[in-house]
Amino acid sequence: MTTYAEIFENNRQWVASKTGKNPDFFKKIAQSQEPEYLYIGCSDSRVTAEEMMGLEPGEVFVHRNIANLVNAGDLNVLAVIEYAVKYLGVKNIIVCGHYNCGGVKAAMQAQDLGILNPWLRNIRDVYRLHKEELNAIQDERQRYNRLVELNVQEQCINVTKLATVQQGFLKNGYPVVHGWVFDLESGLLKDLELDFPKILHNIQEIYDLTGK
């Protein structure tokens, strides 16, 4: 395990590596940021954003919370999305879950988790919406993994409900919302290949906030 003091040495080595390849690296990124991606992921320490995507500083705007949730009561994630779409002009919003997610697993269990209860209720709501499909899966691990995927799908729908996202897409043709799952065992990303235009069309009867 890396010690606290070693972190700063690692930082110095990282700076040396970056400036060795490009002496103006930090001067450039200090000027502004123009990321094309907003990444909404889980806070799990095993799941990074830029590293697993192969991107550099300045290329991805990141928000992380337990079980990669997007709900209407969380001003933090809503502010991040608003800023990313309106002021950074991101072209892609990615909601990325991961298999073996502790938050999703906890939501599947009947137990009192204190302050986590209202947060995890959002995942339990996903289970309720897809109860028939999930209960038909006999293997517990497969059921768990499927709930991870369905949770990502539902959070993508929640992103699509937002006025900023709808209005941006109507005006510019972006941002497009994507759902991914990271497999901890293989290190590979899985694109759930959600049909964003279809999702937007399907919810607009109730959630149309475009002002048109």
Residue numbers annotated as active site: 42, 44, 46, 98, 101
φ/ψ of residue 24, rounded to 5? -100, 15
What is the bridge-based pairing of β-strands 37-42 and 176-182?
unpaired
For 182, which DSSP code?
E
Q: Which amino acid is at 30?
A: A
User: How far is the C-alpha of 101 from the C-alpha of 111, rounded, in Å?
Assistant: 17
User: How far is the C-alpha of 105 from the C-alpha of 148, rounded, in Å?
Assistant: 9
Would you call 99 helix, strand, or coil by DSSP?
coil
φ/ψ of residue 95, rounded to 5? -105, 120
User: How far is the C-alpha of 204 from the C-alpha of 196, rounded, in Å?
Assistant: 12
User: How far is the C-alpha of 128 from the C-alpha of 150, rounded, in Å?
Assistant: 11
Helix/strand/coil (H/E/C) assignment for every residue in 25-66: HHHHHHHCCCCCEEEEEECCCCCCCHHHHCCCCCCEEEEEEC
